[in-house]
Amino acid sequence: MVFPLRQARLSQHMNSSSYLSSASRAGQPSAKGYASACRCDTWRPPMVISRVRFPRFRWRQALLSGAALLGLSFGPDAVAQEAKEVDLALVLAVDISGSIDPDEAELQRQGYVKAFTDPQIRKAILGGYNGRIAVTYFEWSDAWRQQLLIDWTLLDSEAAIETFAKRLGEVPITVLTRTSISGAIRYAIPLFERMPYTTERMVLDISGDGANNDGELITTARDEALARRITINGLPIMNGRPNKYGFPPDPDLDRYYEGCVIGGPRSFLVVATSFNEFHEAVRKKLLQEIANITPDGKVRASDVPQRRQGVSGERQVAQAMEGSMPAPGKRPYALGCDIGERRSREFWQRRFQQ
């Protein structure tokens, strides 16, 4: 709204010769030019329009509409189309609880480093149908203590395998407290869900020297992983000595792993009778997981899968091995899968009563 007095002064100024001459010198149209341009009988001074902010979602809609016209996609399907297929998605979960001292933790770490530098394992990794696998490595202890050392890494060449082994050997060693295999399984499930590759085989490899004594019951976490088509393999370490707190070793840890930890098609366990034998146990386990090599060192005919009848070699092997390992519950652990929790509770009760 313009007040009458202000409007009169403005009109007088616009009709003055000084304004007309200055406007002409600046190359701007005069008042008469504005009137003729807008074809109005009465000229009005130009209005100043403030900046108009359009809603952001309209710009996003415009971008998405343009992308649709170009045949582009930003959804999960586009990511899946670009994802490479691997012969195996392997999660390595290694125990660093209080029952393992720093020297033993170093033996564990070097066991995996040496395994990935082994020529036969490298040949197995690169000799599959796709010629590549995906691996990630984390260490665990308590229910909420997991350390991701190396995220998903594509092993598709000698150089990639060498780099993976080198990176693994350079990470500092850490030793924590309690033992939660169930926590390790819970941590591994979302790792598979966000894996940037596609595969028909998802394997969680758990190594440790004790039963679950922290977090939820081991069978609850295990069964959820199996429901998501994740196979769980085990590498129990039978060290035969008490830990630094005086907690006695589990004399039948191998049976505990068989009845309470592992499960799924082609699941198996390889026992290490000591930390000094851990490297050889890791080597055997990786060969059996990657190339389907038997524990006695013989190579199966399906070592290098071939595609036939529209089914990949890996799926043929999985179908052939389906049911060869007992499903969870067929060989139940006689002492119960909560034995670790009960032993831990009894041990600390005795310690506090002394």
Name the residue ranges covered by the structural domains of the chain: 85-305+313-342
The Cα–Cα gap between 307 and 312 comes to 5
DSSP labels for 169-224? HHSPP---S---HHHHHHHHHHHHHT-SSB-S-EEEEEEESS---SSS-HHHHHHH
Q: How confident is the model at residue 183 (pLDDT cuts 50, 70, 90)?
A: very high
Q: How confident is the model at residue 349 (pLDDT cuts 50, 70, 90)?
A: confident
pLDDT value at 301 more than 80 = no
Listed in sequence order, the residues at least 6 apart from 7 whose beta carbon sits closer than 8 Å to its beta carbon are: none
Distance of CA 348 to the CA centre of its chain: 36
Lowest mean pLDDT among 100-114, 207-221, 293-307: 293-307
295 versus 117: the higher-pLDDT residue is 117
Lowest mean pLDDT among 41-45, 119-123, 148-152, 160-164: 41-45
Could you count the other beta carbons within 10 Å of the beta carbon of residue 9? 11
pLDDT of residue 16: 52
- pTM, two decimals, is 0.69
112 versus 37: the higher-pLDDT residue is 112
pLDDT of residue 243: 67
- The CATH architecture to which 85-305+313-342 belongs is 3-Layer(aba) Sandwich (3.40)
Dihedral sign (CA 300, 232, 138, 97) = negative
Lowest mean pLDDT among 238-247, 260-269, 307-316, 319-328: 307-316
55 versus 112: the higher-pLDDT residue is 112
Listed in sequence order, the residues at least 6 apart from 33 whose beta carbon sits closer than 8 Å to its beta carbon are: none
pLDDT of residue 346: 84
Question: What is the three-class DSSP state of 234?
Answer: strand
Lowest mean pLDDT among 57-66, 109-118, 177-186, 199-208: 57-66
User: What's the mean pLDDT in 12-38?
Assistant: 47
Question: What is the three-class DSSP state of 296?
Answer: coil
The Cα–Cα gap between 322 and 316 comes to 10
User: What's the mean pLDDT in 68-91?
Assistant: 63
Alpha-carbon distance values, 143 to 51, 104, 215, 338 (Å): 55, 21, 5, 15
The Cα–Cα gap between 154 and 132 comes to 7
Could you count the other beta carbons within 10 Å of the beta carbon of residue 308? 9
173 versus 243: the higher-pLDDT residue is 173
6 versus 271: the higher-pLDDT residue is 271
Q: What is the pLDDT of residues 235-258, one digit of tens each?
A: 999 877 776 666 777 889 999 999
The β-bridge partners of 147 are 139
pLDDT of residue 292: 66
Please classify residue 58 by burial: count the beta carbons closer than 10 Å to its beta carbon, then call 0-12 exposed, 13-18 middle and 19+ buried: exposed
User: What's the mean pLDDT in 188-205?
Assistant: 97
pLDDT value at 320 more than 70 = no
